[in-house]
């Protein structure tokens, strides 16, 4: 009996040791992962701050130093352009004819597309091609996959229904906008996934090697639209895979000042044709930006330069944002 009890005790003891080792491994694993995440987040924050500190600051360019003329902008233009704000408060105004084109037919080889039916605006694809080509040249990675682009009203309803079926409507609404209120209607928004060369589909989290892409997308006019820290303003949870084209230099300023699109639309309202915002991009190309309120009539008188290239985008709320291209200059700012 005595001899039998002893091995039993030993068995119990070794079982205890086994579980203790398991527990320690788990604790070290969780702790290690937590530490890794903490270190990565801290490194990302440091790199973010360094990036912002190295970027040109926007400044004021008061008064006219280029010859101006006035153009008449139709009210319909309020709902068009790269800076339109589409969110739960501001519906997208669908035009009679969409101008989105196939990503599959217009992409380069630096990335993949999950479906040949995915479409985006030509400008979005052109800049996407440049951004992902530069990313591939730097990292050798060509596993980014476009998983979603333009969505019609019906398509957005289908996306919401599919999510609601899996997760319930409350959870689905945290991730997918109501039809008519999705940024994917604009043709300026694109979602990324990862598809490895060995055939594995992964979620795009913007971490690791991909952090560089999320951090430098502004150079190509893209913003990572939904960040956790801005979710109380945007109404959408963290989506590191959702990129929105807003154009240079706007993406640049949003990045430099850490503004989401809602905040940027507010920020730009402070500038007028006689109190313009001036900014230089990384290549010392200078721009000026100002806001003109939409008048209630059919059209709005907007001051623009006579001899410089410019773009006018509606903000989909209450006015127009003019972007003037001053050109490459060392004395511009
Ligand atoms: Zn998206």
CATH code, 79 = 3.30.200.180
208 shares its domain with 320: no
How far is ligand 1, taken at its centre, from the CA of residue 182, in Å? Answer: 8
* Boundary residue ending a domain (193, 218, 245): 245
> Residue 195: left if φ>0, alpha if ψ -120 to 50, beta else—which one?
beta
8 in any annotated domain:
no
229 shares its domain with 119: yes
- Looking at residue 185, its pLDDT comes to 97
234 shares its domain with 267: no
11 in any annotated domain:
no
180 in any annotated domain:
yes
- Looking at residue 297, its pLDDT comes to 80
Name the active-site residue from 82, 143, 183, 239. 239
251 in any annotated domain:
no
> Residue 53: left if φ>0, alpha if ψ -120 to 50, beta else—which one?
alpha
Which tokens is 59 given?
Answer: 């400044």
167 in any annotated domain:
yes
Which tokens is 320 given?
Answer: 């127009």
118 shares its domain with 191: yes
How far is ligand 1, taken at its centre, from the CA of residue 191, in Å? Answer: 5
222 shares its domain with 287: no
How far is ligand 1, taken at its centre, from the CA of residue 125, in Å? Answer: 15
Read off the CATH number of the domain in which 105 is found. 3.30.1380.10
Please write down the long-range contacts of 7-15, taking CB distance under 8 Å and 24 or more positions apart: none
- pLDDT-derived band at 25, boundaries 50, 70, 90: low
User: Across the chain, what does the average pLDDT equal?
Assistant: 90
Give me the domain span that covers residue 134: 92-245
pLDDT digits (tens, 9 = 90+) for 84-141: 999 999 999 999 888 999 999 999 999 999 999 999 999 999 999 999 999 999 999 9
Which tokens is 290 given?
Answer: 């100002």
Q: What is the 3-state secondary structure (H, E, C) of 199-219?
A: CCEEECCCCHHHHHHHHHHHH
How far is ligand 1, taken at its centre, from the CA of residue 192, in Å? Answer: 8
229 shares its domain with 153: yes
65 shares its domain with 99: no
How far is ligand 1, taken at its centre, from the CA of residue 97, in Å? Answer: 22
Residue 135, preceding peptide bond in cis (omega within 30° of 0): no
In the chain, the percentage of residues whose pLDDT exceeds 90 is 72
CA-nearest of 290, 287, 282 to 312 is 290
240 shares its domain with 96: yes
pLDDT digits (tens, 9 = 90+) for 27-82: 777 777 777 767 777 777 788 788 888 888 888 887 778 999 999 999 999 999 99
Determine contact, residues 284/328, Cβ cutoff 8 Å: yes
Angstrom distance (rounded) from CA 95 to CA 283: 35
Angstrom distance (rounded) from CA 162 to CA 291: 40
240 shares its domain with 292: no
Q: Let me know if 239 is a catalytic residue.
A: yes
178 shares its domain with 309: no
> Residue 140: left if φ>0, alpha if ψ -120 to 50, beta else—which one?
left
Among 55-64, 226-235, 302-311, which is the least confidently predicted range? Answer: 55-64
14 in any annotated domain:
no
Among 170-174, 206-210, 227-231, which is the least confidently predicted range? Answer: 170-174
Angstrom distance (rounded) from CA 228 to CA 234: 9
103 shares its domain with 31: no
173 in any annotated domain:
yes
Domain count, the chain: 3
181 in any annotated domain:
yes
44 shares its domain with 69: no
Determine contact, residues 87/235, Cβ cutoff 8 Å: yes
């Amino acid at each position: 009996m005595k001899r039998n009890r002893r091995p039993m005790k030993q068995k119990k003891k070794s079982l205890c040791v086994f579980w203790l080792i398991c527990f320690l491994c788990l604790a070290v694993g969780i702790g290690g992962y937590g530490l890794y995440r903490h270190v990565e987040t801290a490194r990302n924050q440091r790199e973010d701050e360094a990036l912002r500190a190295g970027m040109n600051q926007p400044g004021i360019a008061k008064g006219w130093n280029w010859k101006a003329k006035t153009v008449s902008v139709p009210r319909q233009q309020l709902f068009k352009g790269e800076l339109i704000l589409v969110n739960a408060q501001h519906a997208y105004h669908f035009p009679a004819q969409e101008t989105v084109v196939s990503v599959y037919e217009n992409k380069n080889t630096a990335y993949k597309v999950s479906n040949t039916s995915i479409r985006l605006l030509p400008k979005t694809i052109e800049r996407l091609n440049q951004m992902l080509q530069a990313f591939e040249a730097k990292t050798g990675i060509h596993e980014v996959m476009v998983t979603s682009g333009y969505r019609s009203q019906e398509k957005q309803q289908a996306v919401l229904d599919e999510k609601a079926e899996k997760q319930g409507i409350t959870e689905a609404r945290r991730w997918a906008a109501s039809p008519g209120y999705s940024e994917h209607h604009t043709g300026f928004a694109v979602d990324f996934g990862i598809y490895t060369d060995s055939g594995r589909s992964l979620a795009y989290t913007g971490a690791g090697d991909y952090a560089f892409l999320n951090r430098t997308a502004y150079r190509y006019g893209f913003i990572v639209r939904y960040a956790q820290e801005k979710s109380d303003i945007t109404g959408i949870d963290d989506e590191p895979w959702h990129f929105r084209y807003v154009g240079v230099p706007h993406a640049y300023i949003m990045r430099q000042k850490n503004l989401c699109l809602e905040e940027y639309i507010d920020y730009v309202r402070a500038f007028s044709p006689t109190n313009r915002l001036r900014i230089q991009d990384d290549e010392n190309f200078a721009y000026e930006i100002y806001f003109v309120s939409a008048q209630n009539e059919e059209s709005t008188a907007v001051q623009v330069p006579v001899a410089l290239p410019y773009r006018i985008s509606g903000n989909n709320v209450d006015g127009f944002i003019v972007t003037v291209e001053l050109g490459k200059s060392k004395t511009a700012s």
